[in-house]
Structure 1
């Protein structure tokens, strides 16, 4: 069995990518209220700060800062994924192992994380998250995607509402 190495940075800030098994599905936006409930439940049970987030039809990106002395993001994502999947029908094709583990086959098993190193790294990842709906052709302007923390950044005066209008690329390596 493979042993995956996860970054253990207590109180760290992390960039995440989580993906549905079926990349052609729009389940995350169709069931956005279910996702929001699951996310809020996980935050209530095991607090963390959401720095930025964007939920797309088949995947999501988020940046979290964990509380001091706590480096366990994996349990939080497990709670979110399980809560979201509860009461949904299983995916059509599941392996015997998925059936045995009661895995509905909705989410890809693993997620991608990156430890945010400094302010410049954080800024690049926040920009990447907010521009992602345009990159994937969901909208032509960042402001038009409703499932993004971009709107909170605009409301707090951190970004103009027309931000990203002339961006072509955002430099950096990101987890997609």
Structure 2
């Protein structure tokens, strides 16, 4: 058993990776993305937090959140998002017979991996690095050639805020912008 301990800082800013069970590409279906967004909005309403960045890929997603000043319970929020999406996804259907005894014992379905990755951000430079990672992730996974081509990302919001140029990381006009390879994050992002 791992000795990993999560860091819980009230009002902290956190990076998360949530992965589907066996990397099943549930979010290749836009209807499931709508359900996921509904689940996130419901939890955000019940337990407020600020989403700084996000990307939804077919088999995993990344978030950057800041919690309210006196709150550090991101684990409950993630659990509620997973449960809410699973309920929307499955409806009233029972668990398939393929769900293991262990997963049934822990009241888990075959939608999400059991745990999630978390990294507590320490400063503004880390925020920039992780935002860049999130926004470049669809390119990294070969889903699109440029960040602006991926619809399910906070990239477009950050462009509207003038924090990114619309051609950041873009090769559309034949001029590639040098992007970090993110090797220093490999132990923190859960991919």
Q: What is the TM-score with the length of structure 2 in the denominator? A: 0.85
RMSD over aligned Cα, in angstroms? 1.8
For these two proteins, the number of residue pairs brought into alignment is: 175
Q: 1:5 to 1:47 in 2, by over 3 A?
A: same
Query: How do 1:68-107 residues align onto structure 2 when only pairs under 5 Å count?
Result: 68-87=69-88, 88=90, 90=95, 93-107=98-112
Q: 1:170 to 1:3 in 2, by over 3 A?
A: closer
Q: Which runs of 5+ in 2 are unaligned?
A: 171-176
Asked if residue 26 in structure 1 is aligned to residue 37 in structure 2, the reply is no
| 2-structure distance, mates of 1:119, 1:92 | 47
Structure of greater Rg: 2
Residue 148 of structure 1: SS of its match in structure 2?
A: coil
| 2-structure distance, mates of 1:92, 1:144 | 39
Q: Is the contact between residue 108 and residue 114 of structure 2 (CA under 8 Å) also seen in structure 1?
A: no
Q: Which runs of 5+ in 1 are unaligned?
A: none
Which deviates more from structure 2 when the two are superposed, residues 120-129 or residues 164-173? 164-173
Match of residue 126 from structure 2: 121
Q: Is the contact between residue 143 and residue 161 of structure 1 (CA under 8 Å) also seen in structure 2?
A: yes
Q: Is the contact between residue 29 and residue 55 of structure 1 (CA under 8 Å) also seen in structure 2?
A: no
Residue 158 of structure 1: SS of its match in structure 2?
A: coil
1:6 Cα offset (Å): 1.4
Residue 22 of structure 1: SS of its match in structure 2?
A: helix
| 1-structure distance, mates of 2:140, 2:96 | 27
Q: 1:154 to 1:86 in 2, by over 3 A?
A: same
| 2-structure distance, mates of 1:91, 1:135 | 33
1:4 Cα offset (Å): 5.1
Query: How do 1:34-73 residues align onto structure 2 when only pairs under 5 Å count?
Result: 34-73=35-74
1:58 Cα offset (Å): 0.3
